[in-house]
Structures are given as structure tokens and as C-alpha cells.
Structure 1
Amino acid sequence: MAFITLASALVVAAGKNLVRSLFMFFVTLFGLAGLYVLALADFVAVTQIVIYVGGILVLILFAFMLSGKEALNKVSVQADGFISLKNAPALLLAGLFLVIMFNVVFKAQADNLPWVQAAISNQNIMPVNGTGINHIGVNLMTRYLLPFEVISILLMLALVGAAHLSRKPKEDEV
């Protein structure tokens, strides 16, 4: 699952064809959801599919479909290769983040974390119960209901605004 996720993410990042990159991004997001399922984070996996695959990816797909052919041609034409002097700061920053990430992972001592020790003492049997999901649901529908609804209205307004901006003007309006 990790190989599928990483390989499709590399195709997205290095691909020159926008349509192929968009559909490989779809595979990447589903692969990430599969990794969440394997990590016993079922709620996060379902949220990944509903929010990112169902919402964000569809929004990107609509933006792609509503874009003019001229704009898509300008984006798809790359003058230089992936590794060029123009991309040097971004590649340097990405390398720096990679070094920091590996440093943090190797110094974290994941075997000494309390929940890992508890899993080892329970013979790696982690009971799956619905208490975490129940708490999330109760908090979303009671304590955080107003921010939840405000965010949903804000996202709806952004979608309506994007649809309005993408429509072609009538000849009378020009």
C-alpha cells in the first residue's frame, strides 16, 4: 500500500500530463486511506475518502474541466526540466525537510512510547472499540456544532463563487 501511494505521488509530482496527474492523485488519496485502514484508524480513513477524494478532488476536477484550453496549455508547457537552476531553492528546501524528518524519526525512539509498551504487554492486541468515534461524533454535534456549520457555509460560498467566476460572460455583459 505504501509503494502504491508513493509511486502514484511521484507520478503526480513529476508528470507533465495534467489529466494523468489528476487521476494519479486520486490513486494517491485512496492509497493513503488504505494506509489509515491498515493502521486501525478507520475513522480517519473514511474521513480521508469523504473529504479529500469526495470533496477536494472533485473540486479540482471541476476546476480542470471549467478551465479554458488556453490556460491549460500554458500550465502544461514546461520550458525546463524537473531539476533546473530555477527549481534549486525548492529542491534545497525539500532536501532540508527530508533531513529534518529523518532526524526526528530516528531520534523519536518509537519503541519506548507508552502506548507502544502497552501494546507489547498486551501481545500487540489492540482492542478496536467505537469510543473514539463516538466522542468525535458527540463533540461535533454538540460542542463544535456552530463552527462546523460555519465552515460548511463558508465552503458552499467558496464553491458558488468559483462557479460564478468560471462562467463565461454573455455577449451583452461585455
Structure 2
Amino acid sequence: MTMVKALFYLMGFIAVASGLYVAASRNLVRSVFMFFVTLMALAGLYVLASADFVAITQIVVYVGGILVLIIFAFMLSGRESLAGLQQQESRFISINKLSAVLLAALFFILMLNILLKTDPDHLQWVQKAVSEKNMVKSGDATVNNLGINLMSHYLLPFEVVSILLLMALVGAAHISRKEKSL
């Protein structure tokens, strides 16, 4: 077994195990931390697939943005709502969740069927790309080119979006901390 294959299996196991822990855990703090582990393992899988830009985007957008948003929502929520969430029944399968369990089982069967019937080395579009030499090599500097374009040609839109996101964050914090008037 090569080192890349071992790292793939390790990152895949970490992503699946931490994702299952997020779904099954009753403790919100641990779920948020394990969600961080899941997102980082997915970024590691993207790096192994030579998708370095997607890996960096995964870290910046999801770990740096979405996860911080979840942490802010957790910190700004009241104790009563958090206590109510943790007091709910913790039965894994109940009649209320039957439709969700059936949908998940059907999705799993569909994905397993696709996985078993597909031969990724002989897909038509992959063979066409190989024959036309229309492939991205792992040594190509895609992130370097994106960084140069982002910081030169698209600097103004990039800064406008960052200011807009900062305004949304400040507005959300202000709305959540606003005292109720009598």
C-alpha cells in the first residue's frame, strides 16, 4: 500500500467517523468541534485529489466562514433554547423520523449502486480528456494564477465582498444583543 492510498483511507475514515459523531452527538460544543475535524479531513481529501484550490476554498469558506458563523450562533443563543435542545428525546429511530430514515436508506442504496456499476478509468468523458490532453497536471500553478488575478484584476470586488460580509456580521451581532423594549 502506498503512502497516498494510506492517507486517503485515513482521511476518509476521519471524515466519515467525525461526520457520524456530529450527527449523533447531543453535545453542541463537541458537535461543532467535530464538524471542524470533518471539514479539515475533507480539505485533506481534496489535496490528495490534486484539487488544491478546492481545498483552500474549503478551509477559507467553510472552516473560516461557516464554522465561525455556527460558533457565533451558538454563543449568541440563549441558555433556555440550548437547554431545550438537549432535553429532547434521543431515540435514533422513531415514527417521526421514519421518512428521513427511508430517504437516507434509498440514497445509500442509490450511491452504492452507482459506485459498484461505474468504472472510473473507462468513463467516456475521461477518455476524451486524456486523448485531447485536456487535463490539469498536479504541478500546474492554478492557485498561483488565481491569487494573482484575485489580488490584481479583481481586488475591488474582493474588498467590497469582504466589507459586505463584515457589515452583515456586525448587524447580526447588533440584532442578537438588542434589548427588548417595554
Residue in 1 aligned with 2:34? 24
- CA shift, 1:108, in A, is 3.0
Q: Does 1:57 align with 2:74?
A: no
Is contact 2:52-2:143 (8 Å) kept? no
- CA shift, 1:119, in A, is 10
Matches within 5 A, 1:74-153: 74-113=84-123, 127-133=137-143, 136-137=146-147, 152=162
Is contact 2:46-2:55 (8 Å) kept? yes
CA deviations 1:118-162 (Å, max 9, x no partner) are 9999xxxx8423354356457767898887667555544432332
Residue in 2 aligned with 1:159? 169
Residue in 1 aligned with 2:25? 15
Percent of residue pairs bearing the same amino acid type: 61
Deviates more, 1:136-145 or 1:83-92: 136-145
Q: Which runs of 5+ in 2 are unaligned?
A: 1-10
* Rounded Cα–Cα distance in structure 2 between residues aligned with 1:35 and 1:44: 10
Q: Does 1:36 align with 2:46?
A: yes
Q: Which one-letter code corresponds to 1:17 in the other structure?
A: N
* Rounded Cα–Cα distance in structure 2 between residues aligned with 1:152 and 1:10: 33
**TM-score normalised by structure 1 residue count:** 0.78
Please report the RMSD computed on the Cα atoms of aligned residues, expressed in angstroms. Answer: 3.1
